């Protein structure tokens, strides 16, 4: 998502990206005990609560967290 926007992108154009990323994440398959399973959407919300992932391109800055590089 971040690769698709520029530094000049304004806030109203950033907001719709979060639901797009969440929708993508909820359709991904993950390996589970030798098979494939859909990721559980609450797992992503738990990671977001810990500010390890975010649904906004600037989530780290919004929550005062150093960017993971």
The 8-class DSSP code of residue 39 comes to P
β-bridge mates for residue 38, sequence order: 29
Q: For the chain, give every domain's residue range.
A: 36-69
Question: pLDDT confidence of 68, banded at 50, 70, 90?
Answer: low
pLDDT of 62 > 80? The answer is yes
pLDDT digits (tens, 9 = 90+) for 10-23: 888 888 887 887 78
Q: What is the pLDDT of residues 31-51, one digit of tens each?
A: 767 777 666 666 777 888 888
Phi, psi angle pair for 49, to nearest 5°: -60, -30
Q: How far is CA 23 from CA 17, 18, 36, 40, in A?
A: 10, 9, 18, 12
Rounded Cα–Cα distance for residues 38 and 60 (Å) = 26
Q: Residues 6 or more apart from 28 whose CB is under 8 A from it?
A: 38, 39
Does the predicted TM-score (pTM) go above 0.75? Answer: no
């Amino acid at each position: 998502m971040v690769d698709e926007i520029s530094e000049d992108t304004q806030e109203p154009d950033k907001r719709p990206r979060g639901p797009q990323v969440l929708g993508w994440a909820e359709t991904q398959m993950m390996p589970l005990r030798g098979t494939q399973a859909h990721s559980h959407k609450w797992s992503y919300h738990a990671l977001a609560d810990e500010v390890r992932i975010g649904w906004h391109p600037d989530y780290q800055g919004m929550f005062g967290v150093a960017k993971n590089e």
